[in-house]
Structure 1
Amino acid sequence: MIHNILKDRPTKLFIAMAAFFVANALIAECIGGKIFSLEKVFGVQPANFTIFGQSGLSFNLTCGVLLWPLEFIMTDIVNEYYGPRAVRRISYTAVILIAYAFIMFYLAISIPPADFWIGSGATDGVPDMRNAFNVVFGQGMWIIFGSLAAFLISQVVDVTVFHKIKKYTGEKKIWLRATGSTLISQLIDSFIVLFIAFKIGKGWSWQLVLAICLVNYTYKFAMAILLTPLIYLAQKRIEKYVGKETAIQMKRAAMATPGAGADNIVAAG
């Protein structure tokens, strides 16, 4: 039986997408501690604009936003071919493994370091490796909790909006349900993570939280539009891999009932 499962192309595709989804989410969390200037990436000076009375704002973004748009694209692809239950399954898996990773990070931080290791980076400009390690891997608990909560809630919203739009569009206008669901879920994701991590955790003012939320969402909005062609590219590759007839069966199973998609992975093959 196990050999038949591993030979089944829809099943192998789901495993590959689930693995990429989880790895991408974990990497995004790990690199999220670095803030970069989007304007400087394009060789221009920071914008320094004002929103909600907050001046001096510019597109300073966490490096995590480089990968999160791919998560929502993957969500829409999995939703299209495997259904909501499959999306929930990989989302819960991602959250559990991210939480596990941070527990291991904090365990590693708490372990007493070897004396020689602390100063081993001095020649590279890092006089205290212990502090450097702690700063890189020791993200605040409010930030971790906010990020995970925002991720789970936004995934649920994305799945719900995606299927509501698909009920009206059918198989047509995949760009509308994919981009539409992403735009709504990204707005919720941006607000929740900032609210938990910085309004509750740091005591930021509502004006500052909303201003930064709008800046972050503007970037995510633009990326959602720009990455829309990837949905069509992925659709073509999937149909070529599993076969057009199988792809149609997978889509029908995904839309049949809220839980049918994940349970019919093998049956569709």
Structure 2
Amino acid sequence: MEDSNKPPLPGKSGHPAPVHVAFAQVARGYYTPIVVLFTATLLISNICATKGVQFFSGSSVSLGPLEVLPITTDAAFFLFPLAYVLGDVLSEVYGFRATRHAVFYGFTALLVMVLCFAVAIHLPPAVFYENQEAFRSVIGTTPQLVAAGLAGYVVGQLLNSATLVLIKERTREKYLWARLIGSTVVGELADTLIFCSIAATAIGIDSWSQFVNYVIIGFLWKTLVEVLMLPITYQVIGLLKKHEPTYAPRETTPLRS
């Protein structure tokens, strides 16, 4: 046991060095803020995704079983692709292991969010509170949607990260565009298929043509966003590689780094 009466060590001037309270140091670098943004994007997206949206609802265009118009998707379509852009940044700069940790942080945050929503819904409303049913309908995520979101998210993000680092092992620092697009195609396809297969009926999709439309449009849109974001993603990755002092070749295989 440390002796609390032990005198402080002398400072450079010969006088006792001041002793203050103890604190742990926060790890430096950009990993933490990126993970925070990554997790926030997932939380917000999963709330928005409970709403089904439709564009060109007055039109009807089909190609065989595929319903081209109207376009049916969910209200997270504009935000969720950002999670994959951030996942690519994490994978490219920090590796699969660090990205896997970020995915599990997000998974835990989603579970906590769902549990807190369930508790809040079942708490007795005040006599003057008139929005209980509206509150329930907005944040009362069904088990079906929870399962869809969690399954699609975990499988899609892990496949996205694993694909990127395996391609990087072959291409090294070249062909970044191939890693970013290739990993997104694999991850987004798995994510979209799993999520849509589980969640389709919960958001009002009740026909095969709508389901196919939902999957294809969702996948193409998310992949298109990745392509459009390439110039920004390139800049962010370049800056991180330049300013992260520990960015260097690893001695372990990419899936263990």
TM-score range, shorter chain: 0.7 to 0.9
- Matches for 1:75-114 after TM superposition, within 5 Å: 75-114=87-126
CA distance in 2, matches of 1:66, 1:167: 31
- Matches for 1:155-170 after TM superposition, within 5 Å: 155-170=157-172
Identity of aligned residues (%): 22
Deviations 1:95-143, CA, capped at 9 Å, x for gaps: 111111111111111111112111xxxxxxxxxx111101100122111
Compute the displacement of 1:240 (Å): 5.0
Residue 180 (structure 1) aligned to one of 155, 163, 182: 182
Residue 2 (structure 1) aligned to one of 6, 20, 24: 24
Describe the SS at the equivalent of 1:252.
coil
Compute the displacement of 1:23 (Å): 1.1
Residue 153 (structure 1) aligned to one of 152, 155, 167: 155
The aligned counterpart of 2:5 is none
Letter in 2 for 1:21: F
The aligned counterpart of 2:216 is 214
The aligned counterpart of 2:51 is 34
Root-mean-square deviation (CA), in Å?
2.7
1:236 equivalent in alignment to 2:238: yes
The aligned counterpart of 1:250 is 247
Letter in 1 for 2:148: G
Letter in 2 for 1:33: T
Q: State the structure with more CA Rg.
A: 2
Residue 18 (structure 1) aligned to one of 9, 20, 35: 35
1:66 equivalent in alignment to 2:68: no
Letter in 2 for 1:213: V
CA distance in 1, matches of 2:38, 2:150: 14
8 Å contact 1:76–1:178 — kept in the other structure?
Answer: yes
CA distance in 1, matches of 2:59, 2:228: 21
- With normalisation by structure 2, the TM-score equals 0.81
Describe the SS at the equivalent of 2:141.
coil
- Unaligned runs of 5+ residues in structure 2 are 1-22
- Unaligned runs of 5+ residues in structure 1 are 40-44, 119-128, 261-269
The aligned counterpart of 2:195 is 193
CA distance in 2, matches of 1:51, 1:35: 22
Describe the SS at the equivalent of 1:64.
coil
Number of residues paired by the alignment?
A: 235
CA distance in 2, matches of 1:36, 1:198: 12
Deviations 1:178-205, CA, capped at 9 Å, x for gaps: 1110122111111111111236998955
